[in-house]
Amino acid sequence: MNKLQMMSLYRDFRKDLQLIEKQLERSVRSSSPVIQDASMHLLKAGGKRIRPIFVILSAQFGTYEEENVARVAVALELIHMASLVHDDVIDDSDMRRGLKTVKARYDNRVAMYTGDFMFARALETMSAISNQQMHETLAQTMLDICKGEIIQMHDQRRVDQNLRDYLRRIKRKTALLLSTSCELGARVSGTSEENIRRLTRFGYFAGMAFQIVDDILDIVSTDAKLGKPAGSDLLNGHLTLPTLYLLQDEKFVGYMNAAFDETLTEEERKNMLQYIRQSGAIEYAQQMSDRYLQKAMDEIEPLEEGRAKDAFYQIAHFIGQRKY
């Protein structure tokens, strides 16, 4: 899904997204030039703004209050960006979305505090909302994301892991925040508890599919489209759904060990990617993603017809099809 497709997909909600974009820019303005520069850089690097759009769409099922919807959307995107900055420290990543990461432009210490700053700004943005349950949900989500980050570190380079470990990781890494985006968007609009439940589950299932596709793309896409070397997950010690599928495959395990030991040559990396692509692992992962997308669509089926529901279906469709 590129920017153009996104804009066409988001057409009906462009005004809302523009408001959120403006407030995001205002949010990262800071009296400290380093923080402002680091976070503005991250903001301008783009991203799909999938959390804000989930908030906006979910809020369509109740009474849409522009200002409060924007607050929730901005807070969730800031939390997402903060966790990206902290993740880059962990992964020792120098590139993200084709641009240098905060930690590469500055250092780990700036990356840590820029992340902290964005978290704090997210809370400040949310503090204007007086719905206590929303604060509880958000705090719980942040806790679960933190635990997930530690689990991900713990699972790094571990070969004694299975599908359940993987699903637990991507739940905390991606699905939870998307699920919370839908829940808080729905809640801030005051729709029915039944609608809130359905939208929350939609966000969760769509998030699981989204991360599986992301993990597939890390293997099947090109360095240029990814903005970082294909196969980065494995190079960083992260086993994903396609590579877990190959843990019994001797040839793959050879590649994997070299990747973990950082002895994999550039040619071997390309051969490895080729090998994974023709192994059936991609189709296996794709099927699982499709099953999650079907569950997501089933969840919102009973919801009121309209532009928001259409857009959710389109997004689910795009998640399944997306090439970068």
The binding site for a copy of itself (CB under 8 A) comprises 30-32, 34-35, 86, 89-90, 108-110, 112-113, 115-117, 119-121, 123-124, 126-128, 130, 132, 135-136, 138-140, 142-143, 145-147, 149-151, 153-154
Burial 257-294 (b: 16+ CB within 10 A, else e): ebbbeeebeeeebeebbebbeebebbebbbebbeebbe
Nearest CA to 245 out of 276, 210, 269 is that of: 276
In angstroms, give the least distance from the CB of 85 to a copy of itself: 10
CA distance 238 to 105: 24
Give the other-Cβ count within 10 Å of 216's Cβ.
Answer: 24
Structure-token pair, residue 316: 């689910």
CA distance 170 to 208: 7
CA distance 218 to 272: 13
Phi, psi angle pair for 79, to nearest 5°: -65, -40
CA distance 86 to 68: 27
In angstroms, give the least distance from the CB of 111 to a copy of itself: 9
In angstroms, give the least distance from the CB of 124 to a copy of itself: 4
Cβ closest to a copy of itself, residue 115 vs residue 203: 115
Cβ closest to a copy of itself, residue 94 vs residue 283: 94
Question: Contact 43/28 with Cβ under 8 angstroms?
Answer: yes
Cβ closest to a copy of itself, residue 92 vs residue 298: 92
In angstroms, give the least distance from the CB of 78 to a copy of itself: 12
Cβ closest to a copy of itself, residue 143 vs residue 253: 143
Cα angle: 47, vertex 57, 3; to 5 degrees: 30
306: left (phi over 0), alpha (psi -120 to 50) or beta: left
Cβ closest to a copy of itself, residue 55 vs residue 110: 110
Cβ closest to a copy of itself, residue 140 vs residue 274: 140
In angstroms, give the least distance from the CB of 200 to a copy of itself: 18
In angstroms, give the least distance from the CB of 285 to a copy of itself: 27
Nearest CA to 53 out of 216, 202, 215 is that of: 202
In angstroms, give the least distance from the CB of 150 to a copy of itself: 5
Cβ closest to a copy of itself, residue 34 vs residue 247: 34
